[in-house]
Amino acid sequence: MKKTTFAILIVCSMLMLAACGSAVTSSENSDGKLYEDVNVKHAKELIDKNEVVVIDVRTEAEYKEGHIPNATLIPEDEIDNRMEDLDKDTSYLMVCRSGNRSSNASEMLAKSGFTHIKNMKGGMNEWTYEIEK
């Protein structure tokens, strides 16, 4: 009887440890990313509510062709050098043409301790709202 109880206790302990080890950490979302992908509609809602600062990671030429109003231009290849200009506690929405460069930039920021990063999936290719030139 004692052996059976002891064996059950061991199995339960192992199951609990395994469950803890597979839990998603607080800095990862359910996809295992350190940032959140959002669609264009959700991005627009966040912008309209002033819940995010928009960072456009395209080139200067692309930015000048048209960008989200009040977006700050920080080309992807300058993110590393400009991180010190950004507040780690601010919520940022990262934007590019298609969502690829902004995804890379989001990953860089998240790995550097930024905790409120969102990436606009589809990028400016899918943006149907107002733009500035």
Domain ranges of the chain: 29-126
Catalytic annotation on 20? no
Task: Place 33 in a pLDDT band, splitting at 50, 70 and 90.
Answer: confident
Q: Which superfamily does CATH assign the domain made up of 29-126 to?
A: Rhodanese-like domain (3.40.250.10)
pLDDT single digits (tens) 41-89: 999 999 999 999 999 999 999 999 999 999 999 999 999 999 999 999 9
Contact in structure between 100 and 121 (CB atoms under 8 Å): no
Q: Please give the Cα distance from 133 to 115 (Å, whole number).
A: 30
CB atoms near residue 56 (< 10 Å)? 27
Q: What is the mean pLDDT of residues 18-39?
A: 61
**Which is catalytic among the residues 96, 105, 108, 124?**
96
